[in-house]
Structure formats: structure tokens, C-alpha cells
């Protein structure tokens, strides 16, 4: 992610931090499962990046 660095992981959850924007997001990494839409929206909102970088 743009400017985010993985700072830690506990179990299936990764913590990513952007020191420039002072934002932090927790990303669940469930092997073989699709993230629910609401979870994905929450991660994107928390990142402050908006949806543009994720649209194909």
C-alpha cells in the first residue's frame, strides 16, 4: 500500500502503519477466504487512500 509498512503480525492479523499520514490499519489475512465487503471498505477508509488505487 502507498507509504504503508507492515509493522507487526499477530496470528492472522497484520498491522500496517504510514508514518507520513499517521494512519494505521489492521488487515486480516484469512487463507483461502474472501474478505467481506464491509471489512474491505473499513480497511480502505482507514488507509485514507480512497477507492481509486483499488479500482481496476
Please write the tens of the pLDDT for every residue from 12-52: 999 999 999 999 999 999 889 998 989 988 999 999 888 77
pLDDT at position 53: 72
HEC letters along 1-56: CCCCEEEEEECCEEEEEECCCCEEEEEECCCCCCCCHHHHHHHHHHHCCCCHHHCC
pLDDT at position 9: 97
pLDDT at position 1: 56
| CATH, domain range 5-54 | 3.30.920
Amino acid at each position: 500500500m502507498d507509504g504503508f509498512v507492515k509493522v507487526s503480525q499477530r496470528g492472522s492479523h497484520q498491522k500496517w502503519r504510514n508514518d507520513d499520514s499517521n494512519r494505521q490499519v489492521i488487515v486480516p489475512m484469512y487463507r483461502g477466504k474472501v474478505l467481506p465487503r464491509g471489512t474491505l471498505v473499513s480497511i480502505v477508509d482507514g488507509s485514507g487512500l480512497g477507492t481509486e488505487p483499488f479500482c481496476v
